[in-house]
Chain A
Amino acid sequence: MPKPKEQSPATAALTFESALVRLEQVVRELESGDRTLEESLRLFQEGVGLARLCGQRLDEAEAKVEKLLDMQAGEPRTVPFAAGDAQ
Chain B
Amino acid sequence: MRRQALTVRALTLYVKGVLDRDELLTDLWVQGELSNFKAHTSGHLYFTLKDEVAQVRCVMFRSAAQSLRFRPDHGMKVLAHGYISVYERDGNYQLYVREMEPAGLGALHLAYEQLKEKLGAEGLFDAARKRPLPLLPRKVGLVTSPTGAALRDMITVAQRRFPNVHLVLAPAQVQGADAPASLVQALRAVARVPGMDVVIIGRGGGSLEELWAFNDEQLARAIAACPVPVVSAVGHETDYTIADFAADVRAATPSAAAELAVPSKAELRGAVQMALGRMEKALRHRLQRERTRVLVLAQRPVLRRPLDRVLQQRQRLDDLGRRLSLAVAGGVRAGRGDLAQLAGRLEALSPLGVLARGYAIALDRNGAVVRDATSVRPGAEVRVLLHRGRLATRVVSVEPADL
Contacts and interface: CB of A to CB of B under 8 A. Distances in A.
Given A76-B192, A81-B169, A30 B147 contact: no
Contact of A17 (B134, B155, B169): B134
B87 to A, nearest CB: 58
Contact of A20 (B159, B189, B265, B272): B272
Contact of A63 (B138, B163, B185, B186): B163
Contacts of B167: 64-66
A13 interface: no
B56 interface: no
B195 to A, nearest CB: 10
B192 A74 contact: yes
A66 B196 CA distance: 12
B333 interface: no
A33 B289 contact: yes
B146 A67 contact: yes
A54 B65 CA distance: 60
A17 B268 CA distance: 10
Interface string B140-179: 0000001110011001000100111111111100000000
Nearest to A79: B169
Contacts of A15: 136
A48 interface: yes
A58 interface: yes
Most buried by A among B159, B185, B286: B286
B172 to A, nearest CB: 9
Nearest to A85: B146
A55 B269 contact: yes
Interface residues of A, number: 43
B169 A65 contact: yes
Interface string A30-45: 1101010100110010
Most buried by A among B275, B276, B279: B279
A16 B186 contact: no
Contact of B136 (A17, A51, A85): A17
Contacts of A81: 146, 169
A10 interface: no
Nearest to A18: B135
B282 interface: yes
B272 A27 contact: no
B283 interface: yes
Contacts of A72: 185, 189
B290 interface: yes
B169 A44 contact: no
A58 to B, nearest CB: 6
Given A27-B278, A51-B275, A61-B166, A33 B186 contact: no
A24 B289 CA distance: 22
B193 interface: yes
B193 A68 contact: yes
